[in-house]
Chains A and B, each alone.
Chain A
């Protein structure tokens, strides 16, 4: 009974969410129709300017106008998401970034490289300030301000991520985990700043970061078990007759972990941006102020706040899983159960 009561408003909301844009679309169509009529003289003027263009061609251009506008929205979104060589500050102009090719490899400075450097600079500034404060801090006085804020995050990574997942010998991996966490976090957050780009929304960046995790994990495993123990891990402790199945599965498993890390971070960061831009473009496609006020802006703000949360969440998830993989690779007992749990996850 109670459940029904809960479901009904939700269903109602869904119906409204479907109906309202449709109704507004009708309104938008009239807008579009008036726009079309207004544009007729312009295109006729263009036709007059270039005599080579015949009337049917102009008609075809007219016909293609609506889908062209739609494609333009998609193009803008992809332009925003993808990496390129221009750092654009829309109304003010843009900066063309240098193109560098060394030995046949294109290592030009792209928008995402600039963002990475901005993130690095920010990280270095913030943590040189914080680190400087910690140099003359004693156990007797508490940190304050920025140092305190960062300490909360550092302490969280140290205890709840590293210590609880890696266990013994977690101190060795702390610098890597902390750097990865703050690097991804700052990348995610700078992606939400106007004119910024999300470097972590580029699969190459996330791939590189997860390759680092992969190497750290493998080295930790080798150090913890030695070559023999490492190879034994690949058999997952099963009978030798099963090795022909288990060994390939375990080897593939080693690679699926960083692959999952790559795709998770990349997809999460990209999806959020696509959703925000799509929501905004709804109002442009439907050519309606009502849609803009009622749907695009509120929903875009909501998703933007959600993205703020996701920025922290994904940085945490990446770090957490890295720590978990290191912990699994260095664990001595209960490897199989834990690995099965992660595979499920």
Chain B
């Protein structure tokens, strides 16, 4: 053990050997050149290409995500707009229906009012006419009655006048 250490210190381990240096240099350079051609070029290219591919895939994925988010946002907006639109339409429909209903009912009411009024008027007219007829009838009956009762020389015209005035009084009294 000790002697091996002495040999190491004596320098045979560190002794220069130009031949070995020469061969190492030649071998290394040749290996470097050949490997650069056959191995490092294709491998590094493939690695760089793959790196690029992965990066572009990531980019594409991000882009797709952004796009889908934008589409989602747009869809939501559209949905909200459609909701608002339908609300508006429903409200308008309701308003219109309300208006229509009130219009119709008002019209019906006025119509009924009118019909009632005209019916009343007609009834009034009928009543008046009936009263006239009745009055004439009553006058005639009264005259006939008086004629039958009196059967005198009394002038028919005078008597009729008297009865008329009497009936007039009667009607006014009744009213």
Contact partner of A274 (CB less than 8 A), chosen from B4, B40, B42, B46, is: B4
User: How many angstroms from the CA of A81 to the CA of B30 in the assembled complex?
Assistant: 26
B34: interface (CB < 8 Å): yes
A183's contact among B21, B31, B39, by CB below 8 Å, is which?
A: B31
- CB of A109 within 8 A of CB of B53, answer no
Q: A114: nearest residue on chain B (CB-CB)?
A: B23
1/0 per residue, CB under 8 A from A, across B78-120: the answer is 0000000000000000000000000000000000000000000
Tell me if B42 and A123 are in contact (CB < 8 A).
Answer: no
Report yes or no: B22 in contact with A127, Cβ–Cβ below 8 A: no
**Do A82 and B12 touch (CB < 8 A)?**
yes
Between B14, B35, B49, B52, the greatest number of chain A beta carbons within 10 A of the residue's beta carbon is seen for: B35
Q: Mark B16-37, 1 if CB is under 8 A from A, else 0.
A: 1111111111011011101110
What 0/1 readout, one digit per residue, does chain A (269-297) give for beta carbons within 8 Å of chain B? 01000100010000000000000000000
Chain B residue nearest in CB terms to A140: B53
A105 within 8 A of B: yes
Total interface residues in chain A, CB < 8 Å: 61
A109 to B39, CA, bound (A): 28
Is A175 a contact partner of B35 (Cβ separation < 8 A)? yes
Please name 15 further chain A to chain B contacts, defined as beta carbons within 8 Å, in addition to the given A110-B20, A143-B46, A158-B47, sorted by A numbering. A70-B1, A73-B4, A78-B8, A113-B27, A120-B27, A124-B31, A135-B42, A139-B46, A154-B47, A179-B36, A182-B35, A202-B17, A203-B13, A204-B20, A208-B21
Please give me the residue from chain A that is nearest to B44 by CB atom.
A174
Shortest C-beta distance, A226 to chain B (Å), equals: 26
Q: Is the CB of B43 within 8 A of A74?
A: no
Residue of A at shortest CB range from B53? A139
A178: B residues at CB distance < 8 A? 35, 40
CB atoms of B42 and A134 under 8 A apart: yes
A130 to B2, CA, bound (A): 47
A176 on the B face (CB < 8 A): yes
Flag if A151 contacts B19 (CB, 8 Å): no
Given A107-B19, A123-B35: A77 in contact with B43 (beta carbons within 8 A): no
What are 16 A-B pairs with beta-carbon distances under 8 A? A73-B1, A74-B2, A78-B4, A78-B12, A107-B22, A107-B23, A127-B35, A130-B43, A134-B46, A139-B49, A174-B44, A176-B32, A182-B35, A204-B20, A204-B24, A205-B20
Instruction: Check: A212 CB closer than 8 A to any chain B CB.
Output: yes
Which of chain B's residues has its CB closest to A101's CB? B19
Q: Is the CB of B19 within 8 A of A106?
A: yes
Contacts of A78 in B (CB 8 A): 4, 7-8, 12-13
- CB pair A123–B20 under 8 Å, yes or no, is no
Q: What secondary structure prevails in chain B residues at the interface with A? A: helix
* Residues in B whose Cβ lies below 8 Å from that of A108: 19
Mark A104-141 against chain B: 1 for CB-CB distance below 8 A, else 0: 01111110110011001001100110111011011110
Choose from B21, B31, B34 the contact partner of A204 (Cβ within 8 Å).
Answer: B21
A127 near B13 (CB under 8 angstroms)?
no
CB-based A-B contact count at 8 angstroms: 143
* Docked complex Cα distance between A331 and B169 (Å): 139
- Decide: A116 and B1 in contact? CB cutoff 8 A: no
Binary contact track A208-236/B, C-beta < 8 Å → 1, others 0: 11011000000000000000000000000
Inter-chain contacts of B43 with A (CB < 8 A):
130-131, 134, 150-151, 154
**Measured between C-beta atoms, what is the minimum distance from B22 to chain A in Å?**
5
Q: A13 CA to B107 CA in the complex, in Å?
A: 117
Q: How large is the interface on B (under 10, 10 to 19, 20 to 34, 35 or more residues)?
A: 35 or more
- What residues of chain A lie closer than 8 Å to B22, measured between beta carbons? 105, 107
- Digit string of A74-85 for contact with B (CB within 8 Å is 1, else 0)? 100110011100
Q: In whole angstroms, how far apart are the Cα atoms of A70 and B133 in the complex?
A: 172
Closest A-B pairs by Cβ, 4 of them: A139-B53, A127-B39, A74-B4, A131-B39
Q: Is B3 an interface residue (CB 8 A)?
A: yes
Taking a contact as CB atoms under 8 Å apart, the answer to whether A107 and B40 are in contact is: no
**Is B50 engaged at the interface, CB distance under 8 Å to the other chain?**
yes
CA A326 to CA B93, docked complex, whole Å: 81
Contact at A139–B40, with CB atoms within 8 Å? no
Check if B38 sits within 8 Å of A127, measured CB to CB: yes
Q: Does A160 contact B (CB under 8 A)?
A: no
A116 touches B17 (CB 8 A): no
What residues of A have a CB within 8 angstroms of the CB of B2 in the complex? 70, 74
Q: What residues on B are CB-neighbors of A143 within 8 Å? A: 46
On chain B, the residues within 8 Å of A105 by CB distance are 18-19, 22
* Residues of chain B contacted by A209 (CB below 8 angstroms): 24, 28
Q: List residues of chain B with CB within 8 A of the CB of A151.
A: 43, 47
Q: Does A336 contact B (CB under 8 A)?
A: no
Question: Residue on A with the closest CB to B54?
Answer: A139
For the complex, give the distance between the alpha carbons of A170 and B163 in Å.
144
Bound CA–CA A177/B66 (angstroms): 41
Min CB distance A120 to B, Å, is 5
